[in-house]
Amino acid sequence: MNAEPIPAISAQQIAGTAFGHDEALVEVRDLTVRFVTRETTVHAVNGVNFSVRPGEVLCILGESGSGKSVTLRAMMRLLPPRRTRIEGSIAIDGQDVLALDKRALGELRGGLVSMIFQEPMTALDPVYTIGTQIAETVLRHKGGSRAAARARALELLELVKIPEAARRLDNYPHELSGGLRQRAMIAMALSCGPRLLLADEPTTALDATVQIQVLILLRRLQRELGMGTIFVTHDLGVAAEIADRIAVMYAGRIVEEGPVADVLRAPLHPYTQGLLASTVHGQSRERDIEAIPGSPPDLRRLAAGCAFAPRCGLVQSECHAAMPEPRYTAAGRMARCVRITQAALAAAE
Amino acid sequence: MSATADQRDIGGPAQPLLIARNLAKHFAARGASKSARVRAVDDVSFTLFKGETLGIVGESGCGKSTLARLLLHLIQRDSGELIFDGEPVGAPRGITVAALRRNVQMVFQDSYSSLNPRMPVQDSVAFGPFVHGRRKSEARRAARDMLVKVGLNPDLFGPRYPHELSGGQKQRVNIARALAIEPRMVILDEAVSALDKSVEAQVLNLLRALKQQFNLTYLFISHDLNVVRYISDRVLVMYLGRVVELGPSEAIFIQPLHPYTRALLGSQPSMDPAHRIEQPPVTGDPPSPIDPPSGCRFHPRCPFAEPVCAQRSPELGAWRERDSHVAACHMLDPASGHSKAMQ
Ligand SMILES: Nc1ncnc2c1ncn2[C@@H]1O[C@H](COP(=O)(O)OP(=O)(O)OP(=O)(O)O)[C@@H](O)[C@H]1O
Ligand SMILES: Nc1ncnc2c1ncn2[C@@H]1O[C@H](COP(=O)(O)OP(=O)(O)OP(=O)(O)O)[C@@H](O)[C@H]1O
Ligand code: SF4
Ligand SMILES: [Mg+2]
Ligand SMILES: [Mg+2]
């Protein structure tokens, strides 16, 4: 190990600079999440580190089963407590989330932090009108009069551009189209002015012409309200539309991280490179797409070493020894691959 | 079986494999008033040539799957005509529905529910040939061959049950199952949509290779425009049960004619953070196909709509030959009276 060229910047140098503790809204350190049953243990999240500054959008990009939703749910403590083992630390606005009691958690959820989902019906209650649900949330977290809460609900529906908002207040969720339901869920998530928005594929189920409307809306609201946002997606195009930074997840680990333009234009990790090459976008019809062979690993039996090694075209013996530690080519530009120093040096030449 | 003259090719190379004429299927709307109808497929016509891939795009609920099921006679059409290799389907002197289904197979998005969970996948693949008259041992051999063709080791994967396979592997089994009875045409209804990008690319490559090898014709349904562009020779765009545009793939993507097609293409994320989309091309959601808008069904969302658009339904234009590029918009019809109509 010690014969290796020194990475461009060490991890120690990074801490305390632009990504230091004082500024971070979110600070996740060494997060592991395992689901334990008598038969098996699923290693869903395996040592994840990231931070989010106020007003910043971090996109977690990854394929199905890579641990994106579990990471978000851990941050809201929404995982089934009995079967879930969580280790590491999660700090949101200085609060130690894993240590919060029930009451403090209730205040956190929907107050400081809000979450939106792919399927709005998981967040909306089918038996109450949209207006009632939003007003209730406002009352619970902010107090005040019923009339004021309802006025706030109307304001929020207008904020998310629901046409004829006053009439829609009295609609039940099932009376709204998919796009409007998604907007209503966003309105509810914003009702208490969260400083952090957790978004789990909120536009994935929407039609193309509706998805772009909701994405643009979210991007605008996030900027205007200065919300830190973690946006989970498996879609590179969606990440390109909304992210400031991207963290690429594979088998429960962040394997690459950096500013959105850098990650999409000059990916460092072979997995990210493969993902970009295998995403169909204007390739020649004459040739096959460069697909990544194989499929993601079984999280019940994770081998030591780089989890991508069995599928990687650049694999070398070192890859199987241990999961490569994060390596930085610039501040905030990280990848976990043994080849990074070589690649970074070559790029710098 | 394919390279030499195909015994099954009755009509000859110039005869389109499938012609759909004025197909319509309306459903009674659930929960709504008795008279309300879901116009799922409304007056849809197109021609599918031998050996081509025709892509079908359109948003959720526009009738893509209903159209697919009509083509396979999984549901009865209300009206219209279907001609397979020159023979009318289900007509007294035409081809029977059973014969049609020997020629046309389908692969769905939800690969799990279309495989029997209590059957090893090799038996699922062998089932088709067996039902279509092959001996058990022959059917089993055909299944093994086909598993090899889709890139699955039959000794390793054949005995497994569906839940023991990944999504991509299940979809390979589904493709093997569809091809095991040697169809001439395959309808792929969102067949790669549920797969991860890295696996989707593998399956797309496989589909292209198999098409060559078995001389297949594809109807490729997807909401992913990038994938459709890559795989299709021609593309048909649907909106609320109607065909709004039809033409060669590159023509559609480079020079879309219909405002809806343009909006759909313009809604695709850019993949480039330096060129983000700042304004959505259209606002609002697609309206309900229950009692859809009058005239041009896109008129409530169309930036170019004029009174004529709500009054009269635009014609698709004169489709003459394989490379014709046509769209149903009053702006393309000099006689429509639309102020932007090309004179
Ligand atoms: N409650 C649970 N019990 C056991 N395993 C779980 C549980 N929740 C998630 N998992 C497993 O953890 C892994 C990560 O799941 P997660 O939902 O985070 O994936 P994801 O990246 O969000 O994928 P997708 O894109 O499909 O939503 C998966 O293998 C999943 O099956
Ligand atoms: N058996 C049925 N009874 C009533 N309505 C139906 C039936 N089948 C389909 N529909 C309706 O017909 C319309 C077209 O549905 P279809 O499944 O063909 O759409 P699609 O284009 O395949 O959509 P998606 O992209 O979501 O798969 C929808 O409004 C649907 O609700
Ligand atoms: S016919 Fe009218 S409403 Fe329809 S697409 Fe053309 S301009 Fe728009
Ligand atoms: Mg998820
Ligand atoms: Mg469908």
What atom in ligand 2 is closest to the CA of residue B66? 18
pLDDT of residue A10: 43
Token look-up 């809806």 returns B260
Asked if B30 reaches chain A (Cβ–Cβ under 8 Å), the answer is no
**Rounded CA separation B113/B110 (Å):** 6
If one residue of B260, B298, B326 were mutated to test the ligand 3 pocket, choosing by the most ligand atoms within 8 A of its CB, it would be B298
| A8 — pLDDT class (breaks 50, 70, 90) | very low
How many other C-beta atoms can be found within 10 angstroms of the C-beta atom of residue A79?
A: 17
- Of the ranges B31-35, B199-203, B291-295, B339-343, which one carries the lowest mean pLDDT score? B31-35
Residue of A nearest to B201 (CA): A291
**Would you state the pLDDT for residue B332?**
95
pLDDT, tens only, A35-69 = 999 989 999 999 999 999 999 999 999 998 999 99
Interface of B with A in 130-149 (CB under 8 A): none
pLDDT of residue B285: 87
Q: Mean pLDDT, to the nearest integer, of A150-166?
A: 92
Q: Are A74 and A33 in contact (CB under 8 A)?
A: yes
Examine residue B34 and state whether it is found in any structural domain, yes or no.
yes
Mutation test residue for ligand 2: of B27, B72, B291, the one with most atoms within 8 Å of CB: B27
Chain B contacts of A288, Cβ < 8 Å?
Answer: 205, 208
B9 has a pLDDT exceeding 90? no
The number of C-alpha atoms within 13 Å of A11 and in the hemisphere containing its C-beta is 8
pLDDT band at A342 (very low <50, low <70, confident <90, very high): low
A112-134 pLDDT, tens digit each: 999 998 888 888 999 999 999 99
Q: CB of A247 closer than 6 A to ligand 1? A: no
Given the DSSP bridges, would you call strands B217-221 and B53-57 parallel, antiparallel or unpaired? Answer: parallel
Neighbours of ion ligand 4 (CB under 5 A): A 69
Please check whether residue B246 is in contact with residue A190, taking contact to mean a CB–CB distance below 8 angstroms: no
The answer as to whether B137 is a domain residue is no
Query: How much is the pLDDT for A120?
Result: 82
Q: How far is the CA of A236 from the centre of ligand 1 (A)?
A: 20
A173: pLDDT confidence band, cut at 50, 70 and 90?
A: very high
By the 10 Å C-beta count (0-12 exposed, 13-18 middle, 19+ buried), A142 is classed as middle
Mean pLDDT of chain A: 89
Q: Is B139 helix (H, G, I), strand (E, B) or coil?
A: helix
Q: Is the pLDDT of residue A4 over 70?
A: no
Q: Tell whether B207 is covered by a domain.
A: yes
CA atoms of A119 and B318, how far apart (whole Å) = 42
**One-letter amino acid identity for B130?**
F
Q: How far is the CA of B53 from the centre of ligand 5 (A)?
A: 18
**Lowest-confidence region among A14-18, A209-213, A276-280, B329-333:** A14-18
Angle subtended at Cα B22 by Cα B28 and Cα B295, rounded to the nearest 5 degrees:
70
State how far the Cα of B223 lies from the Cα of B63, in Å rounded to an integer: 12
Q: Summarize pLDDT for B137-159 with one digit per residue, the tens.
A: 999 999 999 999 998 999 999 99
Pick from B285, B290, B301 the residue to mutate for testing the A interface (most A CBs within 10 Å). B285
- For position B253, which CATH number holds? 3.40.50.300
- Whether residue B68 lies inside any domain: the answer is yes
Q: Minimal Cα distance from B262: which residue of A? A: A209
Nearest-by-CA chain B residue for A272: B198
ipTM of the complex: 0.90
Each residue's pLDDT tens digit, B271-309 = 999 999 999 999 988 888 888 999 999 999 999 999 999
For A146, the token pair is 């019923």
φ, ψ of residue B291 in degrees (nearest 5) = 45, 65
Backbone angles phi, psi at B81, to 5 degrees: -135, 150
In this structure, are residues B207 and B188 in contact, taking their beta carbons and an 8 Å threshold?
Answer: yes
pLDDT at B4 over 90: no
Which residue of A163, A216, A274 is in closest CB contact with B280?
A: A216
pLDDT for B197 equals 87
B108 part of a folded domain: yes
Name the percent of chain A lying above pLDDT 70. Answer: 91
Round to whole Å and give the CA distance between B258 and B262.
6
Q: Which residues have a beta carbon within 5 Å of ligand 5, which is an ion?
A: B 64-65
The two tokens of residue B19 are 């012609």
pLDDT band at A15 (very low <50, low <70, confident <90, very high): very low
Q: Express as a percent the part of chain A with pLDDT over 90.
A: 74
State how far the Cα of B13 lies from the Cα of B85, in Å rounded to an integer. 10
Provide CB contacts within 8 A for A49, sequence distance 6+: A28, A29, A30, A31, A254, A326
**pLDDT at position A345, please?**
56
Of B230, B273, B285, the CB nearest to A264: B273
Contact residues, B window 217-246, toward A, CB-based 8 Å cutoff: 223-227, 229-231
Q: How many CB pairs lie under 8 A apart between chains A and B?
A: 127
Mean pLDDT for the stretch of residues B246-256: 97
**Cα–Cα distance for residue pair A117/B207, rounded to 1 Å:** 33
Domain extent for B236: 18-118+161-261
Average pLDDT score over residue span B41-66: 95
pLDDT band (50, 70, 90) for residue A11: very low
- pLDDT, mean of residues B116-120: 92
Longest dimension (CA), chain B: 68
Provide the 3-class DSSP secondary structure of residue B209.
helix
* Ligand 3 atom, smallest distance to B304 CA: 7
Q: Which of B151, B119, B125 is nearest to B138 (CA)?
A: B125
In a domain, B150, yes or no: no
Ligand 5 centroid to Cα of residue B250, in Å, is: 24
If one counts the domains in chain B, the total is 1
CB atoms B60 and A278 under 8 Å: no
* pLDDT reported for residue B113: 65
pLDDT score for B111:
53
What integer pLDDT is reported at residue B32 of this predicted model?
Answer: 59
Q: What is the pTM of this model?
A: 0.91
Confidence of residue A23 (pLDDT cuts 50, 70, 90): confident
Question: What is the rounded average pLDDT of the residues A294-318?
Answer: 92
The mean per-residue pLDDT over the stretch B192-196 comes to: 87
Query: According to the model, what pLDDT value does residue B31 have?
Result: 66
Interchain proximity B284–A288, CB inside 8 Å: no
Residue B333: the pLDDT is 94
The average pLDDT across A7-27 equals 56
What DSSP character marks residue B258? Answer: S
pLDDT digits (tens, 9 = 90+) for A67-115: 999 999 999 999 999 999 999 999 999 999 999 999 999 999 988 999 9
Q: Would you say residue B124 lies in a domain?
A: no
Q: Does residue A274 line the site of ligand 1, with CB under 6 A?
A: no
**Which of A239, A243, A292, A241 lies closest to B196, judged by CA?**
A292
Cβ neighbours for A162, distance < 8 A, ≥ 6 positions apart? A168, A180, A183, A184, A187
pLDDT band with cut points at 50, 70 and 90 for residue B343: low
Q: What is the pLDDT of residue A185?
A: 93
- Chain centroid to CA A130: 26
| Cβ-based contacts of B286 with chain A (< 8 Å) | 207, 209-210
> Taking Cα atoms as reference points, which of B149, B151, B143 lies closest to residue B126?
B143
Please name every residue paired with B190 in a beta bridge, in sequence order, or none if there are none.
none
Q: Is the CB of B46 under 6 A from ligand 3?
A: no
**B292 within domain boundaries:** no
